[in-house]
Structure 1
Amino acid sequence: MSTEPRVAPRVAVIGLGWLGEPLAKALQALGWRVAGTTTTEAKAERLRSEGINALVWDINEPLPSAWPVGLAADTLVLCVPPGKVDDYAETLERVAALAAKAGVSRLLFTSATSVYGGLGSKTEADAGPDSARGERMLSAEQAVRHSGIPLVLCLRLSGLVGGNREPGRFLAGRSFEGGNEPVNLVAQEDLLRFIPAIMARHDWPEVLNASAPHHPSRREFYTRAAQLRDLPPPQFDGGGEGKRIDGSALSRWLNLDYRVTDWFAWLAARKAQD
């Protein structure tokens, strides 16, 4: 029997924000050596005090010639939304290429279901953007695949809720079209179960969707969400068939069910926790 100590796996999370920070802490609790990036020294200091090797790094600034030593890792998680990065696809490809040269062997990219256009049910094979945001996200997926990292998984996230993202405030008191369109959402608490389970495996597929199986209409969901927060409900017209994102392949692959299977029950439970 070997007496050599077990070497903890290493992960670097680029973007310790709404998802990246709690993910880093979840992985740390599972025994991972975690490093990551933020854009302010105050936040970096706080995270370092909590055992996460946080570096201040704004990837909108000129990139270094080599991967930062403090981010040495086997697995890289790119967790940066497009609205915070200039030249999104090109920048992410350059970041991932630096990581590849430093020996990073796996990349999990948190993409988005905006890569799906049209109407009806959408599975992983149905990418075809009909918006500028979707085109940008699909270009970013293609770019990180060309970075030189051997194993890349693009995890396409539906609308993000939970944590400090309170859906009752998203649309309150405003007017919108498409009231009959289904919502496609995934809760932070489910992502913090799914992503560590993904990280524990090495037989990654190229693409997976993360989207809860309940798809009420936008009118039903956002009206109820606003009411529970004592906010004026949004107003919708009656149109819109919309698209429905199928996130079941992720659940089957991991043999792990979504906890959020009823968005109205989830909204009520959050309200009860206040």
Structure 2
Amino acid sequence: MSRTVGVMGCGWLGLPLAEKLLKSGYKVRGTTTSTSKVEQLELAGIKGFKIQLHENAIAGDITNFLSGLDTLIINVPPGLRGNSGSNYVSKINLLLNEIQKAAVKNIVFVSSTSVYGSAEGEITEDTILRPETESGKQLAQSEALFQKENNLNTAIVRFGGLIGRDRHPVNHLAGKKGLKNGDALVNLIHLEDCIQMLITIVQKRYWRTIFNGVYPLHPTKRAYYTNEALKRGLPPPEFESSSSKRNKKLIISKNYLIKLNALYTSIIS
């Protein structure tokens, strides 16, 4: 069995993931869309490739990147905010064709809890997908592309809101007034937990499984963001008073409980 792992998309999550895989004894290849980032990867001991996914073609040496990989982690977000008309599914379908040609068998596809849409109550991996955003819809379609390929061992990871390092929503909410949905539950996950989860899946070879990646504690937005703002010396956000029972989305992972118990190592701060 090859110990070579490819990380497609070495950005905010992908780069520290690739670095941790390297420290864990794997040979690691990584992709980026810029020449300068390729050099950064090489300096870190990661074999770097400049590769860009387009709707009609893949730019870069995708053949050599995929050749001989034991596992490919696909961490390429749709990037469909605003009025983007990009067809993410077409890009992923082209990548899937190259994966089949290269005979890579083990896939970890990084998705999002946005595939559940605005469903409320307890959300598990068995919850019916009802995406509402364009990004969520195309992620759900992309998941299905891999799930229907019986010759692939695909693990799908649906992360909640990613936080950590220089990324935290409280920085944008601090001091704002009249915010809605203060009683909604927080569904977040720390960067370090994302990395630990993905590496555990690769190490334990938990293929053909779907995981929700969300920290198991779910305070209300009002309580959580007030506390986080005060910890950082920021003015806390103010939420409208509400006794609504709506927006009680609680995302959990029954597959964590079965396979990845005690996975979480970081607090959501």
- Give TM class, smaller chain: 0.7 to 0.9
Q: Deviations over 1:172-191 (max 9, x none)?
A: 23343211000101111112
Alpha-carbon shift at residue 252 of structure 1 (Å) = 2.8
Rounded to whole Å, the distance in 1 between the matches of 2:235 and 2:110 is 33
The answer to which of 28-37 and 88-97 deviates more is 88-97
Distance 1:100 1:130, change over 3 A: closer
Rounded to whole Å, the distance in 2 between the matches of 1:51 and 1:137 is 31
1:49 aligned residue: 43
Alignment counterpart, residue 143 of structure 2, candidates 141, 144, 153: 141
Does the CA contact (< 8 Å) of 2:187 and 2:214 recur in 1? yes
1:163 aligned residue: 165
Q: Give the gaps of 5 or more residues in structure 2.
A: none
Q: Report whether the alignment pairs 1:70 with 2:65.
A: yes
1:167-182 alignment runs, 5 A limit = 167-174=169-176, 175-182=178-185
Alpha-carbon shift at residue 53 of structure 1 (Å) = 0.7
Rounded to whole Å, the distance in 2 between the matches of 1:155 and 1:202 is 14
Q: Deviations over 1:223-251 (max 9, x none)?
A: 22223223333232224433100124224
Rounded to whole Å, the distance in 2 between the matches of 1:225 and 1:17 is 25
Alpha-carbon shift at residue 111 of structure 1 (Å) = 0.6
2:252 aligned residue: 246
Distance 1:106 1:170, change over 3 A: farther
2:123 aligned residue: 122
1:206-245 alignment runs, 5 A limit = 206-237=209-240, 238=242, 239=244, 240-245=246-251
TM-score by length of 1: 0.85
1:3 aligned residue: none
Q: Deviations over 1:69-97 (max 9, x none)?
A: 13421211110112169311221121122
Alpha-carbon shift at residue 20 of structure 1 (Å) = 0.6
Q: Report whether the alignment pairs 1:183 with 2:189.
A: no
Matched to 2:97, the amino acid is A
Alpha-carbon shift at residue 123 of structure 1 (Å) = 0.7
Alpha-carbon shift at residue 162 of structure 1 (Å) = 1.0
1:154 aligned residue: 156
2:76 aligned residue: 80
Rounded to whole Å, the distance in 2 between the matches of 1:19 and 1:248 is 24
Distance 1:69 1:10, change over 3 A: same
Does the CA contact (< 8 Å) of 2:160 and 2:187 recur in 1? yes
- What is the percentage of aligned positions where both structures have the same residue? 32
The answer to which of 26-35 and 225-234 deviates more is 225-234
1:4 aligned residue: none
Q: Deviations over 1:47-67 (max 9, x none)?
A: 101110111112137315983
Partner SS for 1:124:
coil
The answer to which of 181-190 and 144-153 deviates more is 144-153
Does the CA contact (< 8 Å) of 1:179 and 1:218 recur in 2? yes
Rounded to whole Å, the distance in 1 between the matches of 2:152 and 2:91 is 19
Distance 1:203 1:154, change over 3 A: closer
Rounded to whole Å, the distance in 2 between the matches of 1:148 and 1:252 is 23
The answer to which of 162-171 and 102-111 deviates more is 162-171
Rounded to whole Å, the distance in 1 between the matches of 2:198 and 2:125 is 17
Q: Deviations over 1:144-187 (max 9, x none)?
A: 33467511111111111112213321422334321100010111
Rounded to whole Å, the distance in 1 between the matches of 2:150 and 2:46 is 27
TM-score by length of 2: 0.86
